[in-house]
Amino acid sequence: MSVSIVIVSFNAREHLERCLEAVAGGEHEVIVADNASSDGSPALVRERFPSVRLVELEENIGFGAANNVGMEAASGDWFLLLNSDAWPVDDAIRKLSAFGEAHPRAGIVGPRLRNTDGSLQPSVRGHPTLWRIATEYLFLRRLAPRSRALNA
């Protein structure tokens, strides 16, 4: 199974450098879709990470559209859409792709996200229902933050 990592960058040179240090040169394809950065991000990729494919966009087309451009340039069986301010640890990429292979009905798989201090970073929500939307927009969740009825 082959993985293509797509990273969208827009003036995120410092974050991008840390991210690429974690993924470049591995067994997967890495593509950076740069949204017309002016902070030297493209030069960083060209000079320090020659194994990374750089797609330089002429203007900032937005995060979603740049991910699409990166995926169009990719050749992997799996896409890992990785934010430029994140990086995988240990063998997370292999575990994600293995999970996807083992669960062919899954359309999307995602990792557990951690903050730099190791604490869990909430990254998912339940399926949107009228009740969930109401509890969020009417601030009912704040009344009982530990209630499963209000915070499903």
Give residue 64's identity as a one-letter amino acid code: G
What Cα–Cα distance (Å) separates residue 106 from each residue in 31, 98, 99, 101, 110?
24, 12, 9, 9, 10
Mean model confidence pLDDT for the chain: 92
6-43: pLDDT as tens digits = 999 999 999 999 999 999 988 899 999 999 999 999 99
123-142: pLDDT as tens digits = 877 778 898 888 888 888 88
80-90: pLDDT as tens digits = 999 999 999 98
H-type helices in 31-141, by residue range?
Answer: 41-48, 63-73, 92-102, 130-137
99 vs 25, higher pLDDT: 99
Answer whether residue 65 shows pLDDT above 90.
Answer: yes
Give the mean pLDDT of 40-57.
Answer: 97
Of 60, 71, 89, the C-alpha closest to 30 is 71
List CB contacts of 2: < 8 A, sequence separation 6 or more: 28, 29, 75, 76, 77, 78
List CB contacts of 15: < 8 A, sequence separation 6 or more: 84, 85
Give the mean pLDDT of 111-134.
Answer: 86
Answer whether residue 1 shows pLDDT above 60.
Answer: no
Please give the radius of gyration of the chain, using alpha carbons only, rounded to the nearest integer.
Answer: 18
Give the mean pLDDT of 103-117.
Answer: 90
CA separation for the pair 62, 48 (Å, rounded):
25
